[in-house]
Structure 1
Amino acid sequence: MTLIDWNEDRVLALAPDAASVSAGKKLTQPMRWPLLGQNEDQLWGECQGSGSKPYRVMVDMGGPAYKCSCPSRKFPCKHSLALILLALQTPSVITEQDVPDWMQDWLNQRSSRNEAQARKKDEPPSEKSLQKREKTALQRRQRAEEGLNFLETWLLDQLRRGLASLRHEPYRYFDQIAARLVDAQMPGLARRVAKLAEFPASSPDWGENLLTEMGLLFLLIRGMRQENLPPALQAELETQIGWMQNQEELQSLPGRHDHWQVGGVSYFQEGAMKARRLWLFGENTGQSGYLLDFAHGTQPFKTAYFPTQTLIGETVPFPGLPPHRLLVKAGAEVKMQSALPKVNFQSLKELQIARQLQFQAQPWKPLGAGWLASARLRPDGEDWLLEDSQGHFLPLAKAFRGGWEALALGGGAFFPCCVEWEGQELRPLMYSTPDESASFPFERTRTS
């Protein structure tokens, strides 16, 4: 990936927080940089700070990867952000030069690490490591069975007590149950149990919603005890309770080659981690799925993809039921989109039918996304509605805050848009101008 594939929005999306964005922009003055250089894939420079020696800043655009001699613990630091922004805003001040020794040393170190990791992947597992895997899998199964028995007993106890009694239980009551499930190596179940605490104050019909969620937990318990399930369903159940897939093993599997268009991105919290979901739509195969990316604290997300890009290469679906989480195989090429992803739904009615069919097949993960042919936003008090050209409308998630800006840019016209649903919530992610000449996110990228 070269500098031509970048723009300012993408650079700012890498920033660990808003303060780094502000500080980085202040350092884009060429006079602050006594040394600047570049080649096809790398940028380097020396930025004068408060000390006597300038900071050495190194950026490999192919990663992207960064290194700076400054003491900041943020990654990328303000100097790395400033160097990329400077190259985009004032390209004439950064000329092609020979790579300096300190930059070449860093590139050699990165290359050596990558080669060592590749050699390790190619080595067949030893007999000892295979035996260790089998022992670990058996122990995990035993812990899970103990955890499932505990959860089933607890759920039955709540039904005997009556759901009304849960209205008076504090959050720590549910957290204690969730902690037992974490000990049983089922963090997915633990998160679902911890969220039960939110139901009593959520809506007037909280009891019905709580009973539904408890029923889904019972289904997971019974499903995990079944034998000879279809492999996709078995894998989905294991994913739902929180068992992780080995991504190195997935990288070795054959993938599906396509031009994968990044159609939208959503942000959410996963415990103490910030997370984002990027939806990919296959231009030729018609397949879709999502990338899941996590970051802790002020750290940036590992992947630098963003909407309006196209990934040309192979993706491997995680085992389970659709929509699949995807893994991008090494060697994918990134380009800017030449056209919008194909339309999935002509109306909100079609979208609703798809959501209902998905829930029937897979009630634990009512998640999906697609492009709607024509829609516009409509304010509804403090909330927002999405209306299609046939006069149907659906309420959007209450957390949605990008309505007025999108309404102003769209001028009240109907436009193609990408929407995501998760449970009962509907979120618009991207929209295009009516002539499809440009696309915009409904809500600006968050950096913290």
Structure 2
Amino acid sequence: MLLTDGGEPLRTAAPAARWTVEQVLALAPDDASRKAGNKLGSAGPWSDTGRDGPGAVWGLCRGSGSKPYRTVVDTTGPAYKCSCPSRKFPCKHALGLLLLRASDEAAVPVADPPGWAGEWLEGRRRRADEVASAEEQAEGGEVPAAGPADPVAALRRAERRAERIGGGVQELEQRLTDLVRGGLAAAEQSGYGLWDETAARMVDAQAPGLAGRVRELGAIPASGPGWPVRLLEECALLHLLDTAWQGIDGLPGPLAATVRTRVGLTAPAAGPPVRDHWLVLAQYDTPEGKIVARRIWLYGRESGRTALLLSFGAAGRSPGQALPVGVTLDAELTPYPGSGQLRAELRTQFGTPEQTGARPPGVTVTGAVAAYGRALADDPWLDSWPVTLRDVIPVPSAQGWQLADAEGDAALPVAQAALSRPALWKLVALSGGGPLTVFGACGHRGFDPLAAWPAAGGGGGGGTDSAPAPAPHTAPVAAETVPLI
């Protein structure tokens, strides 16, 4: 079981994989921590460093005080402990220690952990043994399951919430109708006030998904030329969601689950578990109000399935769940309900993550657009769909940048969001005018690149002009994953 700071460690008998600099930096909670960690990534401020076989790394880092900071990292979690006062996880000292090992393994020799590090590691591993023992007993039927919740009370709560959401949906429909009747120009004059008030009413109705989409409407009038068209499109999607909620009892099961998720009702991961060798494609954080959401994209080598791990952290703290980009882990995932079934929960990990040099099979630009179209048929509110493009070249155009087929006449515009990040220039530098394999999100706003692989070794590992499919006979091409976010 992969656990994080504050949880229990993964039991492992094999040596942990050595992380690359890019993978370490991907763990940073923010840019400030990334820069500060970089400054501590050399041997200068460190003393008494060491590591052990199961994956622990420790050291003393000189700071402004008289005593050095004690830093220890269990990379099998990963989990971190540092005597510094920082409330960020990982802190700059943990990042610096991992960067030191990534760039100069000789500076972190194999050794027995000192007492202060050993106590923490021993406690984590002891608790892991207890968790494993409890799981084994539960599987053998020796531990009685907890009693079920009162089904009648649960049904009443669900009915009351459905009534509140229904009232919120009717109010939202009335406000959308008033906007269209009065003309979209009124939205530009009222600014954010109208939408903030409406979003607050959706929160009161216990429909946070509707509230989030309503808040986004407030920014559209200030988004530049063509905003009335974009506002009308988003209002139409909201109307479609309202209508779907009102007729949810007549929808197919997967689509009904998607509608509930879009409205803001949560459901546990309850699909059939999928065990596979999962390649970590990308990891990035995005602020969502007062919390930070972390998205980790995985690709299953045997199943050909793409999965999303989603976790959240309070303001100023990164979410606990973290995986180094580019590693492959043998693990079991449980999908959440919904049409696309992209989101999943990481259940059990078997062994330690490894560097395999694998990459996912790719599709052409035409295949990527077709995959997004099929996904829209299942979820009309989908902004984008994860795809891997094979043999594409970043080229400039009159409207910005595009990813063009190396041997075709099709191209996808690079999404505006990527143009303001270093992603585009890393992509151009990696390409050097040659073809690449690129993983990202393909949607109505263009293609947002999240990771890339150079063309050395030949192409992107095969595929067809359709959604990614299992490729059991395709040998992985050795290449390091280059994160673009």
TM range (shorter): 0.7 to 0.9
Give the aligned partner of residue 228 of structure 2: 207
- Alignment RMSD, CA only? 3.0
Give the aligned partner of residue 436 of structure 2: 415
- TM-score norm. by structure 2 comes to 0.80
Deviation at 1:239, TM superposition (A): 0.6
- TM-score norm. by structure 1 comes to 0.86
Deviation at 1:313, TM superposition (A): 1.6
1:154 is matched by which residue type in structure 2?
R
1:195 is matched by which residue type in structure 2?
E
CA contact (8 A) 1:406 1:442 kept: no
Residue 52 of structure 1 is aligned with which of 63, 66, 71?
A: 66
Deviation at 1:113, TM superposition (A): 6.1
Give the aligned partner of residue 188 of structure 1: 209
Is residue 259 from structure 1 mapped to residue 285 from structure 2 by the alignment?
no
Is residue 438 from structure 1 mapped to residue 479 from structure 2 by the alignment?
yes
Is residue 349 from structure 1 mapped to residue 366 from structure 2 by the alignment?
yes
Give the aligned partner of residue 311 of structure 1: 329
Deviation at 1:321, TM superposition (A): 0.8
The 3 A distance-change label for structure 1 pair 282 and 93 is closer
**Further displaced range: 381-390 or 24-33:** 24-33
Give the aligned partner of residue 354 of structure 2: 335
Give the aligned partner of residue 88 of structure 1: 102
CA distance in 1, matches of 2:39, 2:85: 18
Matches for 1:136-147 after TM superposition, within 5 Å: 136-147=157-168
CA contact (8 A) 1:365 1:423 kept: no
CA contact (8 A) 1:257 1:313 kept: yes
Give the aligned partner of residue 270 of structure 1: 288
Is residue 282 from structure 1 mapped to residue 300 from structure 2 by the alignment?
yes
CA contact (8 A) 2:16 2:353 kept: no
Cα offsets for 1:245-267 (capped at 9, x unmatched): 335xx4xx641111222334565
CA contact (8 A) 1:57 1:69 kept: yes
* Structure 2 residue matching 1:324: 3-state secondary structure: coil
Give the aligned partner of residue 5 of structure 2: none
CA distance in 2, matches of 1:27, 1:432: 28
Give the aligned partner of residue 87 of structure 2: 73
CA contact (8 A) 1:288 1:323 kept: no
CA distance in 2, matches of 1:29, 1:207: 53
CA contact (8 A) 2:50 2:59 kept: yes
Deviation at 1:241, TM superposition (A): 0.9
Residue 24 of structure 1 is aligned with which of 26, 37, 41?
A: 37
Cα offsets for 1:335-370 (capped at 9, x unmatched): 223332122x2x322322232233233211142122
1:12 is matched by which residue type in structure 2?
L
**Further displaced range: 100-109 or 183-192:** 100-109
The 3 A distance-change label for structure 1 pair 132 and 107 is farther
1:229 is matched by which residue type in structure 2?
L
Which stretches in structure 1 are left out of the alignment for 5+ residues?
none
Deviation at 1:383, TM superposition (A): 1.4
The 3 A distance-change label for structure 1 pair 418 and 32 is closer
Is residue 362 from structure 1 mapped to residue 383 from structure 2 by the alignment?
no
1:426 is matched by which residue type in structure 2?
F
CA distance in 1, matches of 2:149, 2:441: 45
Give the aligned partner of residue 376 of structure 1: 393
Cα offsets for 1:85-110 (capped at 9, x unmatched): 23333333444444444334323544
Give the aligned partner of residue 4 of structure 2: none
CA distance in 2, matches of 1:225, 1:287: 32
Give the aligned partner of residue 251 of structure 2: 229
CA contact (8 A) 2:26 2:283 kept: no
CA distance in 2, matches of 1:323, 1:266: 20
CA contact (8 A) 2:26 2:325 kept: no
CA distance in 1, matches of 2:123, 2:151: 31
CA contact (8 A) 1:259 1:311 kept: yes
CA contact (8 A) 2:16 2:354 kept: no
* Structure 2 residue matching 1:330: 3-state secondary structure: strand
CA distance in 2, matches of 1:104, 1:387: 53
The 3 A distance-change label for structure 1 pair 205 and 285 is same
Deviation at 1:179, TM superposition (A): 0.8
Is residue 171 from structure 1 mapped to residue 192 from structure 2 by the alignment?
yes
Cα offsets for 1:96-133 (capped at 9, x unmatched): 44444433432354457665799699763435665654
The 3 A distance-change label for structure 1 pair 169 and 31 is closer
CA distance in 1, matches of 2:426, 2:125: 45
Is residue 424 from structure 1 mapped to residue 445 from structure 2 by the alignment?
yes
* Structure 2 residue matching 1:4: 3-state secondary structure: coil
**Further displaced range: 198-207 or 253-262:** 198-207
CA contact (8 A) 2:220 2:230 kept: yes
1:37 is matched by which residue type in structure 2?
G
Give the aligned partner of residue 24 of structure 2: 11
CA contact (8 A) 2:387 2:441 kept: yes
1:231 is matched by which residue type in structure 2?
G
CA contact (8 A) 2:24 2:324 kept: no
The percent identity for this pair of structures is 34
CA contact (8 A) 1:403 1:442 kept: no
Give the aligned partner of residue 471 of structure 2: none
Deviation at 1:176, TM superposition (A): 0.7
2:30 is matched by which residue type in structure 1?
D
CA distance in 1, matches of 2:302, 2:241: 35
CA distance in 1, matches of 2:41, 2:450: 31
CA contact (8 A) 1:323 1:367 kept: no
Of structures 1 and 2, the one with the larger relative CO (CA 8 A, separation 6+) is: 2
CA distance in 2, matches of 1:369, 1:261: 14
* Structure 1 residue matching 2:417: 3-state secondary structure: coil
Give the aligned partner of residue 121 of structure 2: 107
CA contact (8 A) 2:282 2:483 kept: no
The 3 A distance-change label for structure 1 pair 127 and 413 is closer
The 3 A distance-change label for structure 1 pair 25 and 241 is same
CA distance in 1, matches of 2:339, 2:224: 30
